[in-house]
Amino acid sequence: MTMDETIRDVLTEHGRLAVDAGSIEENTDLFASGMTSHASVNVMLALEDAFDIEFSEKMLRKSTFESIAAIRAGVLEMKEA
Amino acid sequence: MIYVSPVHELDAGRAADEASSGLPQERDHARHDHLGRERREYDRGELHHRSRSSSFRVGVDLVVVADVARSVQRFGDRYIDRIFTAHEIMCCRTPDRSQEPSTAYFVESLAARFAAKEATVKVLRPEGTRPDWRSIEVHREPGGWCEIRLRGRAAELAVEAGIAELAVSLTHESTMAAAVVVGMRSSGDRPVGRPDTVAWREE
């Protein structure tokens, strides 16, 4: 499974999106697509489980989780840290 | 009847108009409240605010209790410890009034506190990195009411915004929890962002 597929799976399970996480564009705004602040916490924790990482405090910004592309960049940054 | 602080004054232009028109110039009467602070009483509904530097920020948030219950079930202590302080967890586990400790009360209380944290973030308006959830604490006072205590990045944001005081109100039922936070920004004649009122430091 690719990183993007894993991210989409996490979003499907935890993102509470009003749209299909499997088919949205990678730059689609997830918050505008229905993801609440609380759902973003679950997404963060599920991503940490899926990629065996822990998001640092400096990554706790809305922009980190605002799109699939942003999440991918954040995960890669944490894996390289 | 509306009471406003002295920083909200009658529109000077309107007062001049009244003077030239022969209409009553004084529609307000200086008063002092129980703390000796000057207040003005306006005797008509129309009120022209001209706020100089004092203002308020308001944040509100609504949380679905079932969402928090699912998070607790799915992620357990990792979720709880990542979001809530030890004091908050203790308060949610031990109701201060007649309620018996229960899982339902615990989850509802967590949901209300999450709402309070998000409402506080809306008041602080971070640009870029948002404060750690645990740097915003809902602190239950011995009397039963709650206050917001800040530390770290959250406290810095409050100081930067000139927020001298925060007030919070929480509510929760079986399905929904909500919180409202009001931040009072300091006027120019008062200390800005007094750390002793908005921030606390880890010992």
* Domain spans, chain A: 3-64
Q: Are B172 and B112 in contact (CB under 8 A)?
A: yes
Q: Mark whether B27 and B116 lie in a shared domain.
A: no
CATH of the domain at B86: 3.90.470.20
- Structural domain for B135, as ranges: 55-198
Same domain, B131 and B106: yes
The total of structural domains in chain B comes to: 2
What is the structure's pLDDT at B54? 59
- Asked whether the beta carbons of residue B74 and residue A39 sit closer than 8 angstroms, the reply is no
Residue B46's pLDDT is what? Answer: 43
* Contact yes or no for B71 and A61 at CB 8 A: no
Establish if B47 belongs to a structural domain. no
CA distance A31 to chain B (A): 14
- E strands, B27-144, in order: 28-32, 38-42, 55-64, 136-140
Determine which of A41, A52, A54 to mutate to test the interface with B (most B C-beta atoms within 10 Å). A41
Query: Which residues of chain B does A41 touch, with a Cβ-Cβ cutoff of 8 Å?
Result: 71, 79, 82-83, 133
Burial of B129 (0-12, 13-18, 19+ CB in 10 A): middle
CATH 3.30.420.40 assigned to A3-64: no
Query: Is residue B203, in this structure, part of any structural domain at all?
Result: no
Same domain (yes/no): B81, B174: yes
Q: What is the pLDDT of residues B22-69, one digit of tens each?
A: 444 444 444 554 455 555 444 444 444 444 455 899 999 999 999 999
Its ipTM equals 0.86
What pTM was estimated for this model as a whole? Answer: 0.74
Q: What share of chain A is helix, strand, coil (3-state, %, to 5)?
A: 60, 0, 40
